[in-house]
Each structure stands twice: as C-alpha cells, then as structure tokens.
A and B are shown apart, each in its own frame.
Chain A
Amino acid sequence: MVLNLMLLVSLPAAADIVGNTLDLSDGSAPAAALATVTLGLANEDAVGGIQVDILFDGSVAAFSGMAASGRGAGMTAEGRVVESGRLRVVMYYSGSGTLASGTGPVAELAFLMQGSTGNTSALTITDIVLSDTDGNDLTASATPGSLTVADPVGSPFLNISALKNPGDTHIVMIMVTVSGGSGDAPIVSASGSAVTMSSLADGVFQGQHHALSGQSTLTITATDSNSNGTSNAQIILALP
C-alpha cells in the first residue's frame, strides 16, 4: 500500500501528460572518454515507433553507440550517423508491442568526446517521426540536450606521427595530437633539436624538421602537461 502511494506520487499519471515530448539530457566526459546521454519520452498517446535525427558538433563528439533502456527496453534501437554531425535514431517493436502513455527514459546514447576541455555541443532533436500502433503520425515536440568536454582525469595523452617527404625523406613533417592537454603547443624535439610547433586543429599540432644528410635515425619526443601531471611520447624513425 505504501509502495503504491509512493508510485502515485513520483510518477505522473498518464492523464497528467499533455502531448508527446522527446528530450535529451546533458552529458560530459573528458576527451577520449565516453559521455552518456538519455533520450526521454513523455507521451500522452501510445507509441509504436520513434525516429528522430540528433544534430551535434562532430569536432566535439563522435557517436559511439546506443541501446534501448527504461521504458524502451523492449524496443529495437538503432543509431546511425547519416551525415557528419547528424545521428538518426530509430526505435521500434519487432512484434506488436506498444509504449504506453507515460514518462521516462527510452534509450541511452554514448558519444566519444574530443578536443579541448570546455568545448560544448548542443544536442538538437529534429525531424521527429513518432507513430502510433497503426503507423499514424503523432504530433511531438522536443527539448535539446548538450555535450561538454570535461576536465581530464589524468595527465595528457600524446600521439606522434612523422611523415617523411617522399621527394627527400630527410624532411619530416611532425604531427602531434594531444588529448586532455594544456591547450598550448607541446614541447617537441627531434634528435635533440627543438621543433617549433603550431596549432593546426583542436588538439593537433604540426612542425617540420630537416634531418642531417647521412643521418640514419631520428628520435622525436613530445611533452605536454596539465594539472594532473606531465606526459611524454617518443618515436624513433629510420631514415633511408
């Protein structure tokens, strides 16, 4: 009896819900980690299927995967990036199931976060197709969510790529990608010589080095720090 009363208090009764509204929660995670957001639905009408497009900034996050959850647990859920920054979500019942009138999560979506701490992307729901059990369209509105790149939990992570000029392999383009870094250019050296690095894109830096004629190997190191510590990366390149 007590439990029933609690449920009556905490869950809106179907009669209280007006219209059909989809919403996305806010999510955050450090660069290179997964942020999870919840797709929720408050539906007055019984729902047989959902299709929506979710717009996001591809420089801040990349879609990683999704799964039905909560009230949508019995539905098949599929997410596919149809163009850069546009995720299409489709949820439906394989059989004759119905999402009864109610409120709560129907799916969880995971995004891999990228770029600098503090970068934010809106998660905008658009092109909504909500259908009833007979396949008829239902009117629906939407509330957007957001994704934010959070503070790193560890020291920066660096990758070095060395691109040898095909015309003269002693001329090397040095590209360093940094996640969770200081935001400044990493400190880079090539066989002890400092390499000036410039920012190319969010978390990507480039420089160039001319190895000496006759030099057979080139050792490249890169260093960056954040409030959690300092990280190094190193590669040794064979020069023909």
Chain B
Amino acid sequence: MNLRTTLLIMMLTVVALTGCSSGGDDTPVVPTVPDTPAEFTARGWQYFESNNYSDALADFNSALALLPDYGQALSGRGWCELKLAVDSAGLTASVAAFTAAMMVDEDTSEVFAGRASALLALGGDNLDVASSNAYGVAMNDPSFVFSHQQSIDTKDMFLISAFAEAGMGDFNSALYQADLIEVSGIEADYPETWLVAGTSYSSFNASVLARLHQLSEQYSG
C-alpha cells in the first residue's frame, strides 16, 4: 500500500465517522446516542427533515430538559408542534415555543416564519401579527429558505401575509401581498381585470380569493 492509498483510506474513514456531513457546513456531529443539547437538537432536525415530527419533538424536548433556554431547540419544538397540531391547543403550544425562542435571542427568520404560520392557523386576532411577522421575514431576508424544509421560502411568507389579510377581510392588502409574488393584473375598480386562469369573477373579492387559491396551489409549503 503506497502513501497515496493510505491517505485516501484515512480521508474516507474521517468522512464516515463524521456522518458524511456536507462539505464546509457547521452541522453538529450526530452520534447514535445524543448526550448534549446540541446533539439532541441536531438529531431532532434530522428526524424533522424526514417528516418524523414526533421523534423530532422528543429530541427537542430532551435538549430543552438539559438546557431550557436553548433557542435552536425551542425553534424545533415550535415547528414540530405546528406540524403535529390537530387543534388550537397544539397551535398555541407552537406559538409559545417560537415566542420563547425569540425571548432568548433566537430571533431568526426561521423562528418568525414558523410563528407566522402558527398564528395564521390560529386565525382571529392573531392574523394581524401573522401578517406582519411573515412580511417582516420577506422584507428583511429576501432570500429566505427554511433550511430544514427548503420548499418553504420567501414566497410562502408573502402567501402567509396575503392569507392573513384575506382572513381579516382586507382583500386589497391581500392582493398587494400576492402581487409581490407574481403580478396578477387584478384591480379593484376594474371588473374586466377580475380574471384568474381564464375565469371571470363577478366581484373583486371573489377574484382575489381565486388568485390566492391559485398561488396556494403553486407555491404553498
């Protein structure tokens, strides 16, 4: 075995031991049995990325049992509670986790994005904050992509804001947000523009909602 071959084997061994981490990133090494908050959190996100939200939540909770103010685990808990929610209690728990993350300076776009989604789902008086949280992410972080579910990006933030505005009955604001994704050409005062996918609508509100439905199908999540 020459020196070149020996070096190659050593390099491959190192890569295998570090879990094939993608080149150059700082993702924590995830051992088989996590021991620290960071390790539990890293494994939690791995579960999350494979849509195993129950096990992910368990890991985030384990991390928080060791370090209650661990912002990344609070963010993970918020996202898992959102994914697992079947009623307002679950959504409220999600919002609480995201809010707690923000309180410990984990005020990232991912936290605001998740919080906006949960507030949108809660509806009612929460819609105003949902809209402003989502719009804030889109404005402050125009290239936002949720690193653990990359299908969620800036367009989704505009959608959340648009849906929240529609949910408050403000269809002009909803259209404004939707047009930041793609200009529709719909104008409130011109019925001839109340057209979506070749269908004319008999009211401005109906055309805006049809447009939101179309964008939801194209981009949501």
Residues of A within 8 A of B (CB): 31-32, 58, 62-64, 81, 84, 112, 114-115, 157, 159-169, 171, 173, 175, 177, 179, 200-201, 203-204, 206, 208, 210, 240
Contact = CB atoms under 8 A, between A and B. Distances in A.
Given A81-B190, A159-B210, A161-B210, A167 B118 contact: yes
Nearest to A164: B220
A166 B209 contact: no
Contacts of A112: 191, 202-203
A166 B206 contact: no
Contacts of A32: 202-203
Contacts of A114: 202-204
B209 A177 contact: yes
B83 A168 contact: yes
Contact of A163 (B118, B205, B206, B220): B220
Nearest to B91: A171
Interface residues of B, number: 44
A112 B204 CA distance: 10
B56 interface: no
Interface stretch (B25-33, B35-43, B63-71, B152-160): B152-160
Contact of B209 (A84, A169, A204): A204
B85 A206 contact: no
B189 A163 contact: no
A32 B189 CA distance: 15
Contacts of B221: 164-169, 240
B205 A203 contact: yes
B191 A167 contact: no
A34 B41 CA distance: 61
Nearest to A33: B202
